[in-house]
Amino acid sequence: MEVKIRYGYFDNINREYVIERPDIPVSWTNYLGVKDLCTIISHNAGGYSFYKSAEHGRITRFRPNGVPLDRPGHYTYLRDDETGEYWSISWQPVGKDLERATYQCHHGLSYSRFICDYFGIHAEQLLFIPINDDVELWDVVIKNTSDKIRKLSIFSYLEFSFQHIEIDNQNLQISLYASGSSYKDGIIEYDFFYEPWNYHFLASNFDPDSYDCVRDRFLGNYRTETNPIAVERGECHNSTELGGNHCGSLHKRIILDSGEEIRVIFMLGVGSREEKGRMIKHKYSDFKNVDNAFNGLKEYWQEKLSNLQVNTPHQGMNTMLNTWTIYEAETCVVWSRFASFIEVGGRTGLGYRDTSQDAMSCIHTNPNKCKQRILELLNGLTSMGYGLHLFDPEVFKSQKDQLPGVKLPTVKPTPKQEDIIHGLEDVCADDALWLVATVCEFVKETGDVAFFDKVVPYADKKEGTVYEHLKKILDFSADHVGQNGICQGLRADWNDCLNLGGGESAMVTFMHYWALKIFIEAAKHLGRDDDVQKYTAMADKVKKACEDLLWDDKWYVRGFTKTGRKIGTQESIEGKLFLNAQSWAVYSEVASEKRGKMCMDAVNDHLYSKYGLHLLWPAYSKPDDEIGYVTRVYKGIKENGSIFSHPNPWAVIAECILGRGDRALKFYDAILPYSQNDIIEIREAEPYSYCQFIMGKDHTAHGRARHPWLTGTAGWFYMAATKYILGIKVNFDGLVIDPCIPKDWKEFQVQRNWRGATYKINVKNPHSVMKGIKSIRLNGKLVECPISPQKSGSVNDIEVIME
C-alpha cells in the first residue's frame, strides 16, 4: 500500500504554511525582506542573508548542499542552567528527539516563525525584516510552562560571511584576514578593514552576560553547531579578533517563574555600530517598534494581495493564487533568480528572458519594482535589437551611484560597459521578444501611455524611446531567419539546451508572431498607422511561414537543425513531440482551431502525467550536437523530458484559447504543488512553491520536484489562471472578462483593483458551459467588453452570466 506523507498544512487565515514535522528530507525555504536586505531561511532556520547582491553583499555564511543539511543559520539556543540541558528553538541544529520535543515552523509572507516545546519551556523565534530598516529582527519569546522556577540561558548564533561570496569560498588568504570583529556596548560589529564603508552588526535589547565573535571559540574544536562548547558550558568566551572566522553570539541569563515569559530581540543589521547599530538597538529595544514593524509588513502584503483575490470552487487554486503563487512571482522579480539554496550567490544580475517574464506577472502588485526591472532590461538591449543574455544592471549606473573606489587587490577587474556587450554568438533568440509583451502589459496595467515615449539608452550606443526599442526587437527577429524563413535558434531559445545556432526554432517564430500582435495593438492605440501597416505585413508573413512549414500532420515540429533536419516530427525516434511547439502555436494564435485541437490532443496523449506535462517525448538518449545539449542530459531530468514546470501554464493557456476548460484544469491540477501536499515522499519539495522541474517518467524518481521558488512557472501560472481560466484581463482601454472554466463550476468571484478603482466580479455559469458570455452588467447596467476604467476610488459590481 502507498504510504502518504505530509509534513504540514496551509493556514489560509494567516496566509502561512505550517510545518509540523521538521524532519523533511530537503530544505523548505522562505524569503525574508522586501527591499534591499534578504534572508533565505529553511524550516530549520538554516540559511543566509545578503544586502542587495547575493554575490557581493553577503552578510551570513551558508554551506550549500552540505552535510548536515542547511548549515549554518540564524539560531537561538536555550540552556537550562541547572541541568545543563540545551536545545535550539528550531529543530536543528541541536536536533532533539522528536518523540520528546515538538517543533513547528510557520513560513509566512516575508517572515518565518519557529516554535518549540521542550523541557517545560515554550519558545518562539520570529524572523523578519522591517520594510524600512536594513535589519533582520529575531523576536524571541520564552515561556516557562513548568511548575517551578527556571534558570535559563539564551544564546544567539550566526556565522558572518566575507561580503564577496567567491572570495569567501575560494580565496581564504583574503577572506580570513580582511575582516574582523569587535564588541562594545552590547553590539558586535563585523568590519571589512579594506572597505571602511562596509559593516554588519548584531545587537539585542539586553545587556549581554557574555558574547563571542570568534566562531571557533563559540563552537569549540571538533564540534559543530549541534553541540557548541559555549552553550554546553553556559557561557561565551568574550572573544573578538582581527581576521579569522566570525560569528554573532550574544548570551543572556534569565530566571522565569512558573508561567512567566520573557521577550528578547536580536538585531542583525547593515551598517557600523556607530552609524546604525546604536540607533537600531535603541529603536528595536522598544517592543512597540518591533510590533509596528511586523504589522507594517503584514499590511504591506495585505494591501498588495488585495489587488486581486479570487474565490472559486477550487480550494487549491484559491490558496495558491491568493497567496503563494503571487508571492513566488514577486520573489523572482524582487531578488532576481540568483539567490536560493540552489543558486547560492555565484551569479549576479538579471537573466534577460527570465526577468522579462517575471516582470509581466506582478505589475498589479508591485508596479515600481516591475518598472525598475523593465527599464533595466531596456537598457540591456543592444541597438541591434537583441538583449544581453545575463547582465548586471549596475554597470549601466553612473559612477557616482557606485561604491567608493578602494579596490580589493584580488577581485577580478571591474568590466567596462563595452566589455559586457556580447556578440551574436551568445544571443538567445527569444530573450528580448518577451519584453515587448512586458512593456505593453505595464502600460495596460498602469495607464502610463507616455512610457512608450520615454527615452532609454541602449546597452552599446545611442538611445531611443521605449517604443523604438520594441521595434528593434521585432526587426531583429525578422532579420534573423534561417533558410526556411523561420527564426534562427541561435545560442538557444527559451530552452537553454536546444542550441540550434543557424538552425530554426518554431517556438521563437510563434513568439515573434505573438509579440507582433501585441505591438500592433499598442501601435493602433497610439495611432501610429505606418507601424500598424508595416508590422501587420510582417506578422502575416510570419504566420504564413509557420503554417506552411511547421505543421507536421498531427502536430507542429519544434524546428530545423542547421542542416535542415526536422526536430520533433512523427518520424523522429527520440524527441518526437515537444510541448512548447504545440502550446505556442495555439497561444500565439497562429494555429487554426482544427490544428490547435489536434496538436493539444497529442500533448494530452503523449506528454501528460499525473505530476504534470513533460517537455518532450520520448527523452533523448543519444548525443546529437546539431540539436544541442538537451541530448546530453540524463533522461527525465530538466530539459530532456522532465516535467519542466515553466511551460505547463502555456498549455493551460492554449486549452483556454481552445475553449476546453476541463482540459485546462486537468493540466493546472496535475502540477499544482498544493495538490501534492500529502505525497511528499514523492515530491519532496515545498508544496507551496512551484519548482523548476519534476523528474519525468523516464527517470527512476518520477514525481520528485527540484529547484523551488526561482522559476518563471509562478508568474506564468498566475497569469494562466487569472487571465485565461478566470479570464480577467486588462487592456489599453478597458477590462476584459472572458473565462474558460470546467463545466461543473457553477460560479466564481474575483475582486480586482485596477487604476484606483475596485471591481467585484461575480461570474455565474447556470448552463454548465466552459466558455462564452451571455451578458455583463456593470453596477446593474448591461455593458460590453472592454469595460472602460471606472473612476478612481469607486467600487463596482460586475455580474457576468456565461452561456
* Helix, strand, or coil (residue 261): strand
Based on CB atoms, which residue is closest to ligand GLC, 175 or 648? 648
Question: Does residue 354 belong to the site contacting ligand GLC (CB under 6 A)?
Answer: yes
To the nearest whole angstrom, how small is the minimum distance from the Cβ of residue 717 to ligand GLC? 14
Based on CB atoms, which residue is closest to ligand GLC, 47 or 351? 351
Pairing of strands 781-783, 757-764: unpaired
Residue type, 133: D
8 Å CB contact between 213 and 251: no
Question: Does residue 692 belong to the site contacting ligand GLC (CB under 6 A)?
Answer: yes
Angle in degrees, CA 153, 156, 160, rounded to 5: 155
Based on CB atoms, which residue is closest to ligand GLC, 531 or 639? 639
Question: Does residue 588 belong to the site contacting ligand GLC (CB under 6 A)?
Answer: no
Options 353, 566, 660, 704; binder of ligand GLC; rule CB under 6 A: 353
Options 426, 496, 678, 738; binder of ligand GLC; rule CB under 6 A: 496
Given the residues 36, 496, 601, 738, select the one marked as catalytic. 496
Enter the C-alpha cell of residue 687: 508544496
* Helix, strand, or coil (residue 378): helix
To the nearest whole angstrom, how small is the minimum distance from the Cβ of residue 425 to ligand GLC? 18
To the nearest whole angstrom, how small is the minimum distance from the Cβ of residue 643 to ligand GLC? 13
Pairing of strands 795-802, 757-764: parallel
Enter the C-alpha cell of residue 113: 516563525
Based on CB atoms, which residue is closest to ligand GLC, 104 or 356? 356
To the nearest whole angstrom, how small is the minimum distance from the Cβ of residue 641 to ligand GLC? 13
* 134 among known catalytic residues: no
Q: Considering only CA atoms, which of 711, 43, 62 is closest in space to residue 345?
A: 62
- The alpha helices in 135-228, defined as continuous H runs, are 165-170, 172-175, 215-219
Q: Please tell me the distance from the alpha carbon of residue 630 to that of residue 175, in angstroms, as a whole number.
A: 38
Based on CB atoms, which residue is closest to ligand GLC, 351 or 649? 351
To the nearest whole angstrom, how small is the minimum distance from the Cβ of residue 716 to ligand GLC? 11
Measured from the Cβ of residue 306, the count of other Cβ atoms closer than 10 Å reads: 14
8 Å CB contact between 613 and 658: no
**Window of 70-78, 480-488, 492-500, 567-575 that interacts with ligand GLC by CB under 6 A:** 492-500
**Window of 447-455, 493-501, 559-567, 605-613 that interacts with ligand GLC by CB under 6 A:** 493-501
Enter the C-alpha cell of residue 188: 558586535
**Window of 131-139, 235-243, 366-374, 495-503 that interacts with ligand GLC by CB under 6 A:** 495-503
- Tell me the residue nearest to ligand GLC as measured from the CB: 496
Q: Please tell me the distance from the alpha carbon of residue 330 to that of residue 345, in angstroms, as a whole number.
A: 19
Question: Does residue 351 belong to the site contacting ligand GLC (CB under 6 A)?
Answer: yes
Question: Does residue 584 belong to the site contacting ligand GLC (CB under 6 A)?
Answer: no
**Window of 230-238, 351-359, 473-481, 740-748 that interacts with ligand GLC by CB under 6 A:** 351-359
Based on CB atoms, which residue is closest to ligand GLC, 57 or 387? 387
To the nearest whole angstrom, how small is the minimum distance from the Cβ of residue 693 to ligand GLC? 8
Options 358, 639, 684, 698; binder of ligand GLC; rule CB under 6 A: 639
What residues have CB less than 8 Å from 371, skipping those under 6 apart? Answer: 442
Question: Does residue 328 belong to the site contacting ligand GLC (CB under 6 A)?
Answer: no
Question: Does residue 133 belong to the site contacting ligand GLC (CB under 6 A)?
Answer: no
Question: Does residue 495 belong to the site contacting ligand GLC (CB under 6 A)?
Answer: yes
Enter the C-alpha cell of residue 275: 552609524
To the nearest whole angstrom, how small is the minimum distance from the Cβ of residue 332 to ligand GLC? 10
To the nearest whole angstrom, how small is the minimum distance from the Cβ of residue 105 to ligand GLC? 27
How many helices (H) and strands (E) the chain has is answered by 20, 41
| Contacts within 8 Å (CB) and 24+ apart, 754-757 | 754/364, 754/445, 754/730, 754/789, 755/445, 755/446, 755/447, 755/789, 755/792, 756/791, 756/792, 756/793, 757/789, 757/790, 757/791, 757/792, 757/793, 757/794, 757/795, 757/796
The catalytic site residues sit at 496
**Interface ranges with ligand GLC (CB under 6 A):** 351, 353-354, 494-497, 639, 692, 711
